Amino acid sequence: MKVTTFVHVEPQAAFDVFTQETDLWWGRGPKFRFGGAKRGVLHFEAGPGGRLFEEYDGGAVYEVGKILVWEPGARLVFEWRIPNFAPGECTEVEVTFEAGDGGTRVVLEHRGWKALRKDHPARHGLDDVAYSRMLGMWWSELLSSMRERTG
């Protein structure tokens, strides 16, 4: 699934705010944070291999995932694993920053439900191509048709 916004700052500034001031803009409360009632601070560690994590008083950490692509001012890809995921399950978030008229178009895509582990019951032995095709095209088409139908 994909969501977009437009911000009236340059791509580099948008990227910097996204990754360096994360804790300031990221939603608060259990809906957006990972530590339940614990108050944590959210960080991106710069560079590929860095982490997105939340740090709590006393130094405990919840790691959401590793940074896979780090292109300042252009593109960011990181793993996304929330506490209710089964062990080994992981998805991926890609954020692109594209210069537009007077600002930056920011596109965030949360994908990789296809990255569910190979033995996940949902996969039923489908190979990667078949599975991602199913999750991608077929899925969204079906959903939009069901949306029309079910209101």
Partner 1 sequence: MQAATQLDRTFAALADPTRRGVIELLRKRPRRAGELAAALEMSAQAMSRHLRVLRRTGLVEEDGLDDDARVRVYRLRAEPFAGLRDWIEEVEAFWTDQLSAFKAHAERPRKGKHP
- Going by their DSSP bridges, the two strands 40-44 and 2-7 should be labelled as unpaired
Residue with tokens 């008083």: 57
| Residue placing its CB nearer to partner 1 in the complex, 47 or 125 | 125
Neighbours of 51 (CB within 10 A): 15
Among 60, 61, 137, 142, binds partner 1 (CB under 8 A): 142
**Cα separation values, 74 from 42, 45, 129, Å:** 21, 17, 27
Positive or negative, the CA dihedral 11, 26, 107, 103 is negative
Alpha carbons 33 and 117: distance in angstroms, whole number = 24
Q: Judge whether 14 and 99 are in contact, CB under 8 Å.
A: no
| Interacting span for partner 1 (CB under 8 A) from 36-44, 49-57, 59-67, 117-125 | 117-125
Q: Judge whether 96 and 106 are in contact, CB under 8 Å.
A: yes
If binding is defined by CB under 8 A, does position 121 make contact with partner 1? yes
Provide the token pair at 43: 């960080």
If binding is defined by CB under 8 A, does position 85 make contact with partner 1? no
| Interacting span for partner 1 (CB under 8 A) from 39-47, 48-56, 68-76, 115-123 | 115-123
| Residue placing its CB nearer to partner 1 in the complex, 7 or 74 | 7
If binding is defined by CB under 8 A, does position 9 make contact with partner 1? yes
If binding is defined by CB under 8 A, does position 110 make contact with partner 1? yes
Q: How far is the CB of 99 from partner 1 (least distance, A)?
A: 14
If binding is defined by CB under 8 A, does position 32 make contact with partner 1? yes
Provide the token pair at 130: 């078949």
Residues found near partner 1 in the complex (CB under 8 A): 1, 3-9, 13-14, 17-18, 21, 24-27, 31-32, 106, 108, 110, 121-124, 126, 130-131, 134, 138, 142-143, 145-147, 149-150
